[in-house]
Every structure is written in C-alpha cells, then in structure tokens.
Copies of this chain bind each other. A is one copy, B any other.
Amino acid sequence: MTDINPSPETAAQHKVKMEKKKAARDKIMASKTEARGLIIVHTGKGKGKSTAAWGLALRAMGHGQKVGIVQFVKGEWETGERTVLEERFSDLCQIRALGRGFSWESQDLEKDIAAAQGAWDATMQMMSDESIDLVICDEINIAFRYGHLDPKTIVGELMQRRAGLHVVLTGRNAPEELVEAADLVTEMTLIKHPFRSGVKAQAGVEF
C-alpha cells in the first residue's frame, strides 16, 4: 500500500516491460486447467466479508447461475441487500434468514444452538438442490466461534458436497479446520474505521 510509483521511464522502456509482464501472466493463466467447486472463506476483523459475498452472488447471477443464501446471524443486513435481492432476483436467489441475533443480543444459549443447527440444515438442503450453483453461509463463523456448531462436523459435510458447487462462508474468526479445508481464504483487515472518529452507522453504507 505504501509502494512508491515507478520511476519515470521512456515509452519504449515501458512497452518492453509491459510486454514481458503480459507474457508472464499469460503463461501462468494457461497452466490453470482444473474447474471445481470452491470453498471460499471471508474472514478477519475488517469490513467487506458479507458484502463481498453479495458481490459474488451478483456475479454468479450475472452468469445466470442460481444462488442460495443462509443467514446464520440476524440483524446485520436486514434492510438493504435482502430487500433488493428478494425484489429483483426472486428467479435466481433464495434467502433463508435463520439465525438469531448476535449472541450479545440474545443470552439464551440453547435457542442459539438450535437456530444455528436449523440454519445448517437449510444449507444442507440448498447444497443438495442441483439447480443451485453457489451457496453462501453468511456469518457462519460466528456460530463456530460461540460453539453453536462443530467445525469438524460441518467441514466434513462441506467436503461431501456435489462436484462443482461453490460455497462461501463468512464471519470473523474462521476456525482452523475450515481454513485448512478451504480453497480460497481472504482476510479483511481494518486499517481505518469512521466509527473511531464518531461517525454513526448509515443506511446504504453500514447496513
């Protein structure tokens, strides 16, 4: 992020450098041949874990693929995304909101565990629906973190999904078992946050 811009160069030098770069990149891309369903994890303390999952949903639907979303924790994205997905993508997108609030909103461990298990059951149903190409388990890592779901069991079931199905799992504190099993793991790191300087959460940006 703090890289200094490249030193000035002539147009000719630039052209040669970029030709080399393109050749190297083309060669790398040509070596990638396997197509398979991926396990994708968005974790870390920064913003954008769920938001990037909606972006992936949008991208998949742009290719005419169908998406299933299970919400393991309620309250984080009630208003914006869900409304627009239900109103404009009812043909391509199923949403099941089965989580209870964040644990600090609830205080009833048994109900939290039952809700998390119900959300996982809904995920399993979506994973077995062959019309669905991408399943998003939103904030499932919170359920692991509080011991509402067992990572080993869930990862075992994930690994038995049908070929070609992509699954995205979000939330901070992704358990090690999941990171081990995943194909693509991105950590979102907070560098700077407006809450720190007294700005309130705003519709359209924060929720």
Contacts and interface: CB of A to CB of B under 8 A. Distances in A.
A139 interface: no
Interface string A140-156: 00001111000000000
A63 B79 contact: yes
A103 B32 contact: no
B62 A80 contact: yes
This chain: copies in complex:
2
Nearest to A141: B1
A31 B195 CA distance: 9
Interface string A170-186: 00111110010011111
A38 interface: yes
Contacts of A185: 190-192
A58 interface: yes
Contacts of A194: 38, 183-184
A107 B15 contact: yes
Contacts of A40: 205
B55 A82 contact: no
A60 B202 CA distance: 10
Contacts of A56: 51, 205
B44 A1 contact: yes
Contact of A79 (B22, B62, B204): B62
A144 B34 contact: no
Contact of A60 (B190, B193, B205): B205
Contacts of A175: 5
A1 to B, nearest CB: 5
Interface of A: 1-3, 5-6, 8, 11, 14-15, 18-19, 21-22, 25, 28-29, 31-36, 38, 40-44, 46-48, 50-56, 58-63, 65, 77, 79-85, 88-89, 103-110, 133-134, 144-147, 166, 172-176, 179, 182-195, 197-205, 207
